[in-house]
Structure 1
């Protein structure tokens, strides 16, 4: 049974959020499209990195900070692009100073092609960050043992992928995700690989606590419209989970009452 699902609020560590949607801030075609996407999605947090490059130029990057302050949305710094524990720790310390927050999305990349997390050093790095006072949200795979170990070292949230970053394939290992949700008793945010609103709705219907995504909105033909679609899909999936979906059946089940049916229809 997933945590937090009896309430419309999402609780992570010691803080409650109104939304179960976390939104990335990179690769948008313009600062205006980012602004409008945030305004319509009303995310719990917006992720940002000291290594932000790409879609927005340096002059727009300056505008990004002003935008975040103006909108008042909490920032979740991340350690995107880090390939070693030392690099992660250094970036985390800088992020804490720049963003003035203890919250941190931990990314420790092990493979440049798939951007798969370095699971061999992820847990040790998370433990060190927690000792330094960070509220760590670790990006990981759907591996149950890694997830359990992250919880053991003090992570009160985990963030497994649905599929590799940016692929848009949606949840590709449903069995592993179902096991993960059943066994891990802390909030789980699906992070990476979500491509369509239906993907987001699907994982929320499975009992996951929130969804974090970036590319599917930023690179859509209409980012603002897509941000709204994802926001609605996440709400719908959460409501469906709370309401209780019916169990699938191998055979057809009549849904129309037979009261008043002519006698010859019942023979």
Structure 2
């Protein structure tokens, strides 16, 4: 590496006072258990989400057995329909030994699965006061993001597209507003379907990417996890380097148009 290329350990992601060198958060909701370990290794992920109800799958296998010990667990409140349910799930996860990190998901819309920002703010305020590192999943709305910051969120996690759709950065303009205006890490969550889309989000200034469906539904899960890892790292380097200018109304030659050879 040359001196002007920033190494990951000199560009950490900091969440609730905890330091990470990876900016890839891996979801586990749609994986078969035997692929979890391989996906984590290929993604170089240091945070992985899990639903509390998946901690034990039918009494036959425990997802925690497939996650390397160095990886931080991020239990989510999947299934919560209001703030009270989210708080109860978070407390159960901590009591079960999953640590202080929690991803707040409050969803009562069963068709589009859009998060309820109002209830998410309520849950965030309660849990932040209890010492949780709260990472709220939210619809990208500036006012809600400000409320989450005031409530003690460690970051905000706006959706790029409806969860599980792999449609990409459908809310790109709104996410950019959050990146520009909120003094918290912005982690793009839900809807990212391709490594190129993850790279684009990182080029915008996103702090990290959370992905699940795009990897879990790929033909080769570990290979796709590795592709996302490379895309996220590339996008971060491009953002730090400063993207080149864009010209809307004219072209600009990259080589001189004068000084040609003459007979």
SS of equivalent residue, structure 2 residue 102: strand
**CA–CA separation in structure 1 for the residues paired with 2:60 and 2:253:** 58
Runs of 4+ in 1 over 6 A off after TM superposition: none
- Pick from 74, 77, 84 the counterpart of residue 75 of structure 2: 77
State how 1:212-231 maps to structure 2 within 5 Å.
212-231=210-229
Which residue of structure 2 aligns with residue 239 of structure 1? Answer: 237
1:105–1:137 CA contact under 8 A, matched in 2: yes
Which residue of structure 1 aligns with residue 86 of structure 2? Answer: 88
Say if 2:134 is the partner of 1:136: yes
* Structure 2: gaps of 5 or more residues: 1-7
The offset of 1:103, in angstroms, is 0.8
**CA–CA separation in structure 2 for the residues paired with 1:209 and 1:20:** 7
Task: Deviation per CA, 1:26-82: give whole Å up to 9, x if none.
Answer: 222x323221111111112010111239xx9535642x21222x4421111110111
Which residue of structure 1 aligns with residue 4 of structure 2? Answer: none
Alignment size in residue pairs: 255
State how 1:27-176 maps to structure 2 within 5 Å.
27-28=30-31, 30-52=32-54, 57-58=57-58, 61-62=61-62, 64-68=63-67, 70-176=68-174
2:36–2:66 CA contact under 8 A, matched in 1: no
Which residue of structure 2 aligns with residue 179 of structure 1? Answer: 177
SS of equivalent residue, structure 1 residue 99: coil
2:15–2:133 CA contact under 8 A, matched in 1: no
**CA–CA separation in structure 1 for the residues paired with 2:262 and 2:183:** 53
The offset of 1:219, in angstroms, is 1.2
**CA–CA separation in structure 1 for the residues paired with 2:73 and 2:29:** 13
SS of equivalent residue, structure 1 residue 76: strand
CA pair 260-84 structure 1, distance change in 2 beyond 3 A: same
1:75–1:99 CA contact under 8 A, matched in 2: no
**CA–CA separation in structure 1 for the residues paired with 2:211 and 2:79:** 17
The offset of 1:6, in angstroms, is 11
Task: Deviation per CA, 1:76-119: give whole Å up to 9, x if none.
Answer: 11101111222111111110011341111011113111111112
1:51–1:81 CA contact under 8 A, matched in 2: no
Which residue of structure 1 aligns with residue 5 of structure 2? Answer: none
1:17–1:44 CA contact under 8 A, matched in 2: yes
SS of equivalent residue, structure 2 residue 200: helix
TM score, norm. by length of structure 1: 0.90
CA pair 71-130 structure 1, distance change in 2 beyond 3 A: closer
